[in-house]
Chains A and B, each alone.
Chain A
């Protein structure tokens, strides 16, 4: 049995976890390191247990764990006293159900998509859309825009992997693009001309009608509704959606993050020698901004190495998704890839100032039990798939 285990994935994850422990120690203290180590042991145990389960088992209990996750999110949202409602607190431990909701949603969506061979119609999109929208909206209401946004790339990639043509996917979500573009008329016109040309050469009447009607409606309704609102109502909405809503001073951390990484130079300032992190990163330096400390202390070399390990891990996951003959397992691994990959890119992108700031942990490296365990559970399931991939 053992020889069939995918050691490449294990090695990559182990290296990332070690980097994580080093950075948690560097950015926090021994106490935090101990806690993280305990979380890591729990996470590895969970991964080992999950890696022994057959994928069929997951496909069978998928609805149950999905419903369980939704119920947890509901309980959190409606019983918890004050905002933000992101954690269940048990003693000194805070559990974040949204991390496990990602896991449950990926598995359930995979089991749904696996049962459907043909994914050509728009109507095929409705149920998958609902499956991710329910936990996504619940988490958005917590409010946790950072975790909620992950569900969108998960949906896109899993649909794509399940056989939905990319053009259909684009077309389905194009009214959203239209609504966003409608604020600047020139951009919208340019977008719409491009879309029309695309639809013409696409040569599908149904697509054409949906594309034109959907986009025109979205493009018209959005500015109309917007203009009906009072200025202060508009302001409230932009405030709600803007990434600058950060009571924890994230904008300040973002500029400090760029300074930390930039001042690291090529070889870095050395382990435990970062100056920026000691002064300026509170309280997120060991969670959302751990990568900037890595960039400061280990420089460009550290960043390139870490990035390569992540890239290697994701490539292995992609390979696994391709070579697995079981449709459910394949789609599930693709979903896990979307989840971990997107989260990694967004987290690193924030620290480098490439994307707007939202709270997203870096898989395997950021401090935090829920995130670590959920990521390891996902890896455990992937290992289970790799062990049994030739058995069907």
Chain B
């Protein structure tokens, strides 16, 4: 029982202690600080203020800011205080739809939380509001950090943009408020969690005009956490050069990467859009223009458009044949007379090449040779060998929305065309036409097998420490043979216009027949020499031949890159 009395006394003291704590705390609030709280309660002079967390910056590989924040004025509404006439006049000043504004602030469940109804208002609007603030009850104006893209259109697909949340998102995403932005497309969407930070709330005392007099507590009840910065592998200067070289073309996609480690240097898609406009909240009309124009400016062609590969696919067919030991480089087939007759159908070549071996067939891109080579090694050899290079599957790049294209194999043909699929389908596949589809990013990655002696890389845009490789079991000898031929393409073949005087460039041209108009021009090139620092894949839509349109541009891009690295080395050495 003695034990029980000890416990009883202990708990009794706790109960009494708790009561004393409560009473002391009440005395402090009601007696000692009573005056202060009476004043605060008198005229409803407390506001809460939503403090938007500054979004993390995004940097290019050389430390240039490609996305940052700038200050902008916003207008917010406190539901519990606003009346109909005020809403009427503020929507007139801001030139917004009254009903849309109301729909928006109704989404906030806390009626005392200010809801931003307009971002980035003009100085004119600001001064009108400030002048009439006495009559605008429940309206507040403030400064917030807004997303800013210094390079505008140039990096639009790569960076994406930030926009306001939809009604459905507000309900679904727990840690977002109606006052927040969310990243859409590109880096902004993929790295939303790192970039966004955490918005906070502070309590302030205001005067009769709504101006801040003091903060209620020094510590913010909900502190702001700034977003984390992101360091990307993109080279914004090189991207600018690419944009200049492509100025006269309407639609194009360009991927440049470092074949040694998969770092993407350029991810460019044309046409682009200005991501800065989304900060205001897009009007419906603007949105429709962006989405319904036939050029689809919001579409990132570099990783969403699936093109037939065209002749850039031929080296892979040759690689499959050499790797399977089915031919030697000296292998010849029937003479190219500019066309090839298969049953009653005629398959054309773009030129009369005459009799040639593998090297010349690649250098001069002879279709007839590859029709026969494809048929000779068969669909299974092509499909099994080339699937190792990542066709028909996503590259795993750290960006959203990537498409996986299509690599047809025997099963695919049987499913699509029944048992009666013909040699004609293999003919088409052998020259990269027909059912074979790949994104420019996939094409670029597949070519790293040559640039990188058998390894293909995982492309990525955010700097990471451990690069991921996928080692293929393709024979080194076969790769070396094809590499030499790719150098020949630029030295003396269809890719001559990509030639640089002081560097060895290798590559392959492609011209994709397009039933809807002019051919698409493709060129994939890398340089310098045998251990290249850059690999470029360029697709120019409806522009003509790969050799005449795409190759010279790729040559210029490689030169621009190598010149800039030379400058960097020079600067570092001195």
Interface residues of A (CB under 8 A from B): 157, 160-161, 163, 166, 231-232, 235, 239, 244-245, 247-249, 251-252, 254-256, 258-266, 275-276, 279-280, 282, 295, 299-300, 303-304, 307-308, 310-311, 314-315, 318-319, 322, 337, 341, 345, 348-349, 352-354
Q: In the complex, what distance in Å separates the CA atom of A10 from the CA atom of B397? A: 70
Contact A248 B222 (CB under 8 A): no
Contacts of B44 in A (CB 8 A): 279-280
- If A244-B222, A249-B112 touch, does A255 touch B25 (CB 8 Å cutoff)? no
Q: Which of A247, A261, A265, A280 contacts B109 (CB 8 A)?
A: A247
- If A231-B194, A252-B48, A322-B4 touch, does A311 touch B12 (CB 8 Å cutoff)? no
Contacts of B111 in A (CB 8 A): 282
Give the distance to chain A from B412, nearest Cβ to Cβ, in Å: 39
- If A231-B228, A252-B203 are given as contacts, then 5 extra A-B residue pairs at C-beta distance below 8 Å, sorted by A number, are A249-B110, A255-B221, A308-B19, A348-B22, A352-B29
Lowest 5 A-B CB distances belong to which pairs?
A: A262-B37, A249-B110, A263-B41, A232-B193, A262-B29
Q: Pick 23 A–B contacts, CB within 8 A, sort by A.
A: A166-B10, A232-B194, A239-B198, A252-B113, A252-B201, A256-B46, A259-B41, A259-B46, A261-B26, A261-B29, A262-B29, A262-B37, A263-B40, A265-B31, A275-B42, A276-B41, A295-B30, A307-B19, A311-B19, A318-B8, A322-B5, A341-B15, A352-B22
Interface residues of B in 109-144 (CB under 8 A from A): 109-113
Contacts of B38 in A (CB 8 A): 262-263, 265
Contacts of A248 in B (CB 8 A): 109-110
Task: Name the residue among A256, A259, A318, A319 with the largest chain B CB count within 10 angstroms.
Answer: A259
Contact B193 A300 (CB under 8 A): no
Contact A255 B33 (CB under 8 A): no
Q: In the complex, what distance in Å separates the CA atom of A31 from the CA atom of B318? A: 84
Instruction: Mark B8-36 against chain A: 1 for CB-CB distance below 8 A, else 0.
Output: 10111001101101110111011101101
Task: Name the residue among A157, A263, A266, A311 with the largest chain B CB count within 10 angstroms.
Answer: A263
Contact A345 B194 (CB under 8 A): no
Contact B23 A247 (CB under 8 A): no
Counting residue pairs across A and B whose Cβ atoms lie within 8 Å, the total is 135
Contact B41 A251 (CB under 8 A): no
Give the distance to chain B from A106, nearest Cβ to Cβ, in Å: 16
Q: In the complex, what distance in Å separates the CA atom of A218 from the CA atom of B521? A: 62
Q: In the complex, what distance in Å separates the CA atom of A319 from the CA atom of B8? A: 8
Closest to B14 in A: A341
Closest to B39 in A: A263
Q: In the complex, what distance in Å separates the CA atom of A14 from the CA atom of B103? A: 46
Contact B37 A263 (CB under 8 A): yes
Contacts of A341 in B (CB 8 A): 15, 18
The yes or no answer to B175 lying at the interface (CB within 8 A) is yes
Contact A307 B216 (CB under 8 A): no
Give the distance to chain A from B212, nearest Cβ to Cβ, in Å: 15
Contacts of B203 in A (CB 8 A): 252, 255
The yes or no answer to B282 lying at the interface (CB within 8 A) is no
- If A249-B113, A352-B26 touch, does A266 touch B31 (CB 8 Å cutoff)? yes
Contacts of B48 in A (CB 8 A): 252
Q: In the complex, what distance in Å separates the CA atom of A255 from the CA atom of B11? A: 32
The yes or no answer to B174 lying at the interface (CB within 8 A) is yes
The yes or no answer to B225 lying at the interface (CB within 8 A) is yes
Closest to A342 in B: B18
Give the distance to chain A from B569, nearest Cβ to Cβ, in Å: 34
Closest to A82 in B: B171
- If A262-B29, A315-B15 touch, does A255 touch B46 (CB 8 Å cutoff)? yes
The yes or no answer to B7 lying at the interface (CB within 8 A) is yes
Instruction: Mark B395-406 against chain A: 1 for CB-CB distance below 8 A, else 0.
Output: 000000000000
Contacts of A349 in B (CB 8 A): 22, 25
- If A252-B201, A254-B221, A255-B221 touch, does A318 touch B11 (CB 8 Å cutoff)? yes
Give the distance to chain A from B367, nearest Cβ to Cβ, in Å: 50
Contact A255 B110 (CB under 8 A): no
Contacts of A262 in B (CB 8 A): 29-30, 33-34, 36-38, 40-41
Give the distance to chain B from A9, nearest Cβ to Cβ, in Å: 15
Closest to B15 in A: A314
Give the distance to chain B from A248, nearest Cβ to Cβ, in Å: 7
- If A252-B113, A263-B40 touch, does A303 touch B22 (CB 8 Å cutoff)? yes
Q: In the complex, what distance in Å separates the CA atom of A235 from the CA atom of B53? A: 14
Contact B221 A239 (CB under 8 A): no
Give the distance to chain B from A83, nearest Cβ to Cβ, in Å: 8
Give the distance to chain A from B373, nearest Cβ to Cβ, in Å: 49
Q: In the complex, what distance in Å separates the CA atom of A318 from the CA atom of B109? A: 43
Q: In the complex, what distance in Å separates the CA atom of A265 from the CA atom of B10? A: 33
Contacts of B46 in A (CB 8 A): 255-256, 259
Task: Name the residue among B22, B175, B225 with the largest chain A CB count within 10 angstroms.
Answer: B22
Give the distance to chain B from A157, nearest Cβ to Cβ, in Å: 8
Contact B221 A318 (CB under 8 A): no
Contact B25 A352 (CB under 8 A): yes
Contacts of B194 in A (CB 8 A): 231-232
- If A251-B221, A252-B112 touch, does A258 touch B22 (CB 8 Å cutoff)? no
Contacts of A279 in B (CB 8 A): 44, 80
Contacts of B217 in A (CB 8 A): 255
Contacts of B37 in A (CB 8 A): 258-259, 261-263
Q: In the complex, what distance in Å separates the CA atom of A249 from the CA atom of B114? A: 12
Contact A275 B113 (CB under 8 A): no
Contacts of B40 in A (CB 8 A): 259, 262-263
Contacts of B8 in A (CB 8 A): 318-319, 322
Contacts of A232 in B (CB 8 A): 193-194, 228
Task: Name the residue among B4, B37, B113 with the largest chain A CB count within 10 angstroms.
Answer: B37
Give the distance to chain B from A81, nearest Cβ to Cβ, in Å: 13
Task: Name the residue among B7, B80, B175, B228 with the largest chain A CB count within 10 angstroms.
Answer: B7
Task: Name the residue among B15, B41, B110, B193 with the largest chain A CB count within 10 angstroms.
Answer: B41
Give the distance to chain A from B208, nearest Cβ to Cβ, in Å: 16
Contact B29 A252 (CB under 8 A): no
Contact B225 A235 (CB under 8 A): yes
Interface residues of B in 59-78 (CB under 8 A from A): none
Give the distance to chain B from A368, nearest Cβ to Cβ, in Å: 20
- If A248-B110, A252-B110, A259-B41 touch, does A161 touch B7 (CB 8 Å cutoff)? yes
Closest to A161 in B: B7
Closest to A296 in B: B41
- If A252-B201, A349-B22 touch, does A266 touch B30 (CB 8 Å cutoff)? yes
Contact A275 B41 (CB under 8 A): yes
Contacts of A318 in B (CB 8 A): 8, 11-12, 15
Closest to B30 in A: A300
Interface residues of B in 418-473 (CB under 8 A from A): none
Q: In the complex, what distance in Å separates the CA atom of A354 from the CA atom of B22? A: 9
Contact B193 A345 (CB under 8 A): no
Q: In the complex, what distance in Å separates the CA atom of A262 from the CA atom of B37? A: 5
Give the distance to chain B from A91, nearest Cβ to Cβ, in Å: 24
Give the distance to chain A from B24, nearest Cβ to Cβ, in Å: 10
Closest to B25 in A: A352
Q: In the complex, what distance in Å separates the CA atom of A169 from the CA atom of B40? A: 45
Q: In the complex, what distance in Å separates the CA atom of A264 from the CA atom of B31? A: 9
Q: In the complex, what distance in Å separates the CA atom of A299 from the CA atom of B11? A: 28
Contacts of B193 in A (CB 8 A): 232, 235
Contact B201 A251 (CB under 8 A): yes
Contacts of A163 in B (CB 8 A): 3
Contacts of A260 in B (CB 8 A): 41
Give the distance to chain B from A359, nearest Cβ to Cβ, in Å: 15
Give the distance to chain A from B10, nearest Cβ to Cβ, in Å: 8
Q: In the complex, what distance in Å separates the CA atom of A200 from the CA atom of B203? A: 49
Q: In the complex, what distance in Å separates the CA atom of A281 from the CA atom of B228? A: 36
Contact A311 B16 (CB under 8 A): yes
Q: In the complex, what distance in Å separates the CA atom of A42 from the CA atom of B47? A: 42
Q: In the complex, what distance in Å separates the CA atom of A345 from the CA atom of B46? A: 27
Give the distance to chain A from B81, nearest Cβ to Cβ, in Å: 10
Q: In the complex, what distance in Å separates the CA atom of A261 from the CA atom of B36? A: 12
Closest to B191 in A: A232
Q: In the complex, what distance in Å separates the CA atom of A349 from the CA atom of B42? A: 24
Q: In the complex, what distance in Å separates the CA atom of A307 from the CA atom of B22? A: 8
